[in-house]
Amino acid sequence: MESLSSELQSNALLNQFELPDFSSILPEHVVPAVEHTLAKAEQILTNIESENNITWETTVIALREISRSVEKVWGCVNHLLGVKNSPELRKAHEEMQPKVVEFFIRMGQSRKLFEIWEKLEKNTAEVNTSARKRIIQSSLRDARLSGVALEGKQKERFNEIQRDLAALSTRFSNNVLDSTKEFQLEIFEPQDIQGMPESWLQLAAQKAIEKGFKDATPEKGPWVVTLDFPVYFPFLQHCRNRSLREKVYKASNLKASGEDFSAAWNNWEIIKQILNLRQEEATLLGFENFAEVSLASKMAPSPGHIQSMIHELAEVARPAAKAEVETLQEFANQNGLADKLQLWDVSFYAERQRESLFDYTDEQLRPYFPIDKVLSGLFKLAHRLFNVSISASNQEVKVWHSDVRFYDVFNSENKKIASFFLDPYSRSGEKRGGAWMDVCRQREKLPEGKVQLPVAYLVCNGTPALKDRPSLMTFSEVETLFHEFGHGLQHMLTQVDEYEASGIANVEWDAVELPSQFMENWVLERDVMDEISGHFETGETLPDSYFKKIIAARNYMSGSMMLRQLYFSILDLELHLNKNAGERVRDIQKAIAKDFTVIPPLANDAFLCSFSHIFAGGYAAGYYSYKWAEVLSADAFAAFEEAGLSNEAAIKELGQRYRDTVLSQGGARHPLEIYREFRGRDATTEALLRHHGLLKKAA
């Protein structure tokens, strides 16, 4: 181990060993750890650039040391920013982010390194596998997209844009978090919470206690409504007080927009700056618009192909959505609504209509999904499909919160092949919303021959446990867990030993959702349901009466839900196709909303101000990836349906083939080739439309 000063020797970010010690990592560790890591990386890069003997070892393996060390330290910082945010951590992150961006710009724009890649590409003795060829091709492409061909003032401006975009994305994300944290609706009158489920009352009382109402109880209140999803969404579904629903809906819609309660956090100007900078970046790189930049590293061949897919699906989804809203309007009018449905009415009356049509509520299902039972069933499914075993680790692992769990994954010979952290519950104020999988450790063959095993972070924002009961999951939370676990499987079951192409590394962005969405399909299989459900008091599996109702309700409002996703996808794409989008954001949104919404958005609609996927995540001109991959995942699941879901031998064989292709080959081959190897053909939209109950409407 290199000689470090005593201060650095005690820095938990630098001394991670097999896994990070999250109990010892402090915000004050960030700056010295990142500075030391970048200095070391710069030295390695300089040595590579001066190397005359160009081989895989002297180039890729040497660069790997940079990637591994920086991603270990900076990846850990970014992870904590998402799950344990604090002012001190933010400050340290903001101080170091420009330096990290600057280093990777410097590496991406190294002419010497680019020339080394070009020479290495011609060395067929060294570049002798599909993985190595893909790594070289991707590295050359990424260098071009990093501005390697730029000179002088153009290069300086490009680099300035990269630094500014990184800072703006962080500000966007922090504004959403702060705005979410700021809002709270205090309810003192029992009549204002009539109709709310018991589990929500407990959670809202718990939130009240956290906000300083020490004597709050589920029965007597007060109750605090926040914009955290487990609180916010059930409120819109069940609150009978229409004016309160309106207030909460608008608060969520206007998050980080500078309006109403969130005046201190305004993302509109940040959106404008981000879009303008992305267009300027595209121009510098020789592209017409940023959408073309984005697609240069994706599976979809062109914006036109994406638009065709979106419009093909919309032709079916749009009339279905209109019919669904008309039916919902009639139902609402028959059940006490005197005027037109408003946006804050939709979830409420949709839930009432769903209860009426299918005679069950989410709350009636919740007791059947205690988290431990769901996890047990999920792990059994993984064993059934992919012949792996999962159990709580015996290893003493230091985590960032007491709710976090750590699991090991074993192959059929009981040999450990991977591990993962699971952070299942929402935490107001310190953990960002949504759910995601991220990389803690990546599979690679180390110089001494040993294989570094992959480790994943699986992060959800589910309903936490309460005083007298375990965490009881909603059905959508169960689906979300399956989704993130699918991402984790692709990371953990990879058989690629090259760091740059193992797991999800080097997988085209619009293919990366295939494994996650594929796993969601299994939730609605009866055998799987029997394994993931068990009443928290009696242990009874979900009764068949409920299961049949879930199946019947599977495609309730499916046209509306599909149209909503298509709206987000086409809006994202158009914002990045239009050269002047930064100046016309609201006009573009309003024009698209006319064709892709049934109930028009608010006049001052601001959902874009919290659309973190495209302004603070990696989905810029890429949100369509969800639908693109959903076509793939539905078609992949159809292979299992065609084989017969009760045919265990066939399921086992198909599961192994799926594991050997989609899950194990990572970024070593183009995803289209991998999919064809699994399915024997390209995917079609038929299975997706059939699964959503829309196929007959397409005929």
Q: Which of 281, 484, 513, 531 is catalytic?
A: 484
Tell me if 289 sits within 8 A of 278, measured CB to CB: no
Helices (H), 109-192: 111-121, 130-145, 152-182
Question: Which candidate, 402, 403, 404, 376, places its Cα nearest to that of 390?
Answer: 376
Which residues are 407's β-sheet partners? Answer: 392, 420
β-strands 455-462, 416-425 pairing: parallel
The DSSP call for residue 433 is S
First to last CA, the chain: 66
Distance, CA of 32 to CA of 46 (rounded, Å): 21
Q: Which residues contact 530 (CB under 8 A, 6 or more apart)?
A: 377, 541, 542
Convert 113-140 to b/e letters by CB count within 10 Å (16 or more is b): bbebbeebbeeeebbeeebbbbbbebbb
d(CA 244, CA 188): 13
Helix ranges restricted to H, 395-474: none
| Two tokens, residue 295 | 């697609």
Furthest C-alpha separation in the chain: 80
Give which of 669, 634, 673, 622 is closest to 292, Cα–Cα.
Answer: 622
Structure tokens at 453: 């095993």
Judge contact between 14 and 36, C-beta under 8 A: yes
> What element of type H or E holds 106?
helix 87-108
CA distance 34 to 613: 26
Helix, strand, or coil here: 200?
A: helix
What is the Cα–Cα distance from 513 to 636, expressed in whole angstroms? 12
| CA 129, chain centre distance (Å) | 31
- Sign for the CA dihedral angle at 412, 414, 420, 422 comes to positive
Asked whether the beta carbons of 224 and 204 are under 8 A apart, the reply is yes
In the residue annotation, 642 being an active-site residue is answered as: no
CA R_g for the chain: 25
Residue 311 makes CB contacts below 8 A (sequence gap 6+) with: none
CA–CA separation, 688 and 559 (whole Å)? 12
Sequence-separated (6 or more) residues with CB below 8 Å from residue 165: 274, 277, 278, 281
Q: Which of 67, 59, 184 is nearest to 114 (CA)?
A: 59
Using the structure block, give the residue that is written with the tokens 């995917």: 683
- Residue 644's Cβ-side half-sphere holds a number of Cα atoms within 13 Å equal to 5
3-state secondary structure 396-415: CCCCCCCCCEEEEEECCCCC
Which active-site residues does the annotation give?
A: 484
